[in-house]
Structure 1
């Protein structure tokens, strides 16, 4: 087999392997996780503890958080999928030691576990009813 033939075979190998990997039902994409989409999302039971743990790593300085408040989990459509979210409002300490006004964020849960935070949470958190969240204000380094 010549060099040119080997080169061509190497280039065509991924195409051949991809053809073998495809299923006969092309309407169902290959997925490594079971994203259950818009139905049957479980309630996030440990949302308060998970939020504190996440915020401890999310904030540059987790001490001295002020005006912390959180809303109970509710279902909202996020990214085209029905998810539980909790809305969080707080004022964190800046690097210079000062505070900015409290900002609203949404925490998204997938399969009952904290998945990500949405910085600009105006729409998902519209009409949220907040209650004090002292656990966030008591964080330490």
Structure 2
């Protein structure tokens, strides 16, 4: 089977386009209007969004212990101004045993949950925690 120049060009087009898209590691893809250092809107539904996310994120969301939550505060994370809500809790592992309580930072972009940072010592420094009993009441 002989491939014509036209067919070869069609087959190589995706590779050429992929090469154009790469190269700049500092850029990231986002589906929100990332205003960078501009003021972000306050995440009014942060508690409900955190609960909904954790229900799907945790292997076993039932019986979470020692849950505490800090209200969102503006912090610079990765060079961008974000609302950050800090959370600490002890969840069960896949075998059913409780892990030790760990601190996590929940980042919000444009008032909506964007991601969770596992190593949250810096963004959560100095926050004031309050009990978060709703986390312990989650079901599957």
TM-score where L is the length of structure 2: 0.78
Q: Indicate the structure (1 or 2) with the bigger Cα radius of gyration.
A: 1
- SS of structure 1 residue aligned to 2:44: coil
* Structure 1 residue runs without a partner (length 5+): 18-30
How many pairs align?
Answer: 125
Query: 1:7 and 1:56, CA in 2 relative to 1: closer, same or farther beyond 3 A?
Result: closer
Within a 5 Å distance, the mapping from 1:1-141 to structure 2 comes to 6=6, 33-141=32-140
**1:7 Cα deviation from its structure 2 partner:** 7.6
Counterpart Cα distance in 2 of 1:107 and 1:57: 15
TM-score where L is the length of structure 1: 0.78
* Structure 2 residue runs without a partner (length 5+): 18-29
- SS of structure 2 residue aligned to 1:86: strand
